[in-house]
Amino acid sequence: MKTINFPYIALALSSLLLLLILKGSEITTDGTTQIPLLTLLVFNEFSFFVTAIGAYIGLKECRIAGFKSIYALASVFCLLFSIGFMLLGIKLWPL
């Protein structure tokens, strides 16, 4: 796999994992989440790192090879997803 395609893969994978995390974090009638909390946190952390790496590779490639609109958009969405996963992880973490 070429690293130039990583932002696209990271965006697709993180979109699916975001849906899984949001659906799994719904609280059931007995007060627990549908997916165990530790599993949700692992999925969230994995998604954070994947999107952060995708944003880094994408923005670095845009700077080196020049601006391509779709590629830059995927890189910016990876950056936004990375920030979103960081905030979601803080929200999920029991204090």
* Secondary structure (DSSP) of 28-84: -TTS-BSS-HHHHHHHHHHHHHHHHHHHHHHHHHHHHH---HHHHHHHHHHHHHHHH
Predicted TM-score (pTM) above 0.75? yes
25-38-87-75 Cα dihedral, nearest 10 degrees:
-100
Do 10 and 61 contact (CB within 8 A), yes or no? no
pLDDT in tens, the chain (95 residues): 677 889 999 999 999 999 999 999 998 888 888 999 999 999 999 999 999 999 999 999 988 888 888 999 999 999 999 999 999 999 988 75
Rounded CA separation 74/59 (Å):
10
pLDDT of 2: 76
